[in-house]
């Protein structure tokens, strides 16, 4: 079978408030720098079956997930940083995450139903090994704990709630 290599990158998610984000940003100052897309607006179009099979299977936490999406970048909804010295460790802060089922284009205005509370921020730590010790200390000081969070999964749950109110009928 020859030489096979597997790249394993961990994405650890945290739902935090803006004060915690500010404290983490302060702790990051000596170690991290904004990436070239620093502040960006991300628009995803997720493709699924009419009965939402892909997201339903993904929410069951399989070993391998299938996800079909198209992504576009513009200004101001994500802050992204990378580690100065080796660049392997990345941190992103996502705010104003919204979903919609109409006007599904990547060049339209950013609008839709919010999936986070107004003060919430989704922080993602992306690393191929262990977290830097300084970040572990910052998380501990702020009493921040990892969570399981799917943007598309949360949007799907919002769609289900709406459908149960008689507005839409999908899954």
Task: Give the model's pLDDT for residue 3.
Answer: 59
Domain ranges of the chain: 10-164
d(CA 131, CA 30): 16
Distance CA 171, CA 156 (A): 10
- Predicted local confidence at residue 4, as pLDDT: 58
Question: pLDDT at position 73, please?
Answer: 45
Mean pLDDT by 10 residues, the chain (171 residues): 64 97 98 86 80 81 69 74 90 92 81 92 95 97 96 86 63 45
What pTM does this model have? 0.80
Helix and strand numbers (H, E) in the chain are 4, 7
């Amino acid at each position: 079978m020859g030489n096979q290599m597997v790249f394993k990158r961990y994405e650890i998610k945290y739902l935090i408030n803006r004060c915690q984000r500010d404290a983490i940003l302060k702790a990051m100052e000596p170690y991290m720098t904004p990436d070239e897309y620093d502040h960006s607006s991300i628009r995803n179009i997720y493709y699924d079956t009419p009965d939402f099979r892909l997201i339903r299977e993904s929410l069951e936490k399989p070993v391998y997930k299938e996800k079909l999406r198209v992504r576009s970048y513009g200004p101001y909804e994500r802050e992204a940083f990378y580690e100065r010295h080796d660049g392997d460790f990345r941190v992103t802060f996502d705010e104003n995450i919204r979903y919609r089922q109409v006007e599904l284009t990547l060049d339209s205005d950013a609008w839709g139903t919010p999936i986070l509370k107004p003060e919430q921020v989704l922080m993602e730590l992306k690393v191929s090994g262990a977290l830097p010790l300084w970040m572990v200390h910052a998380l501990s000081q702020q009493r921040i704990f990892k969570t399981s969070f799917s943007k598309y999964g949360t949007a799907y749950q919002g769609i289900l709630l709406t459908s149960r109110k008689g507005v839409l009928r999908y899954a």
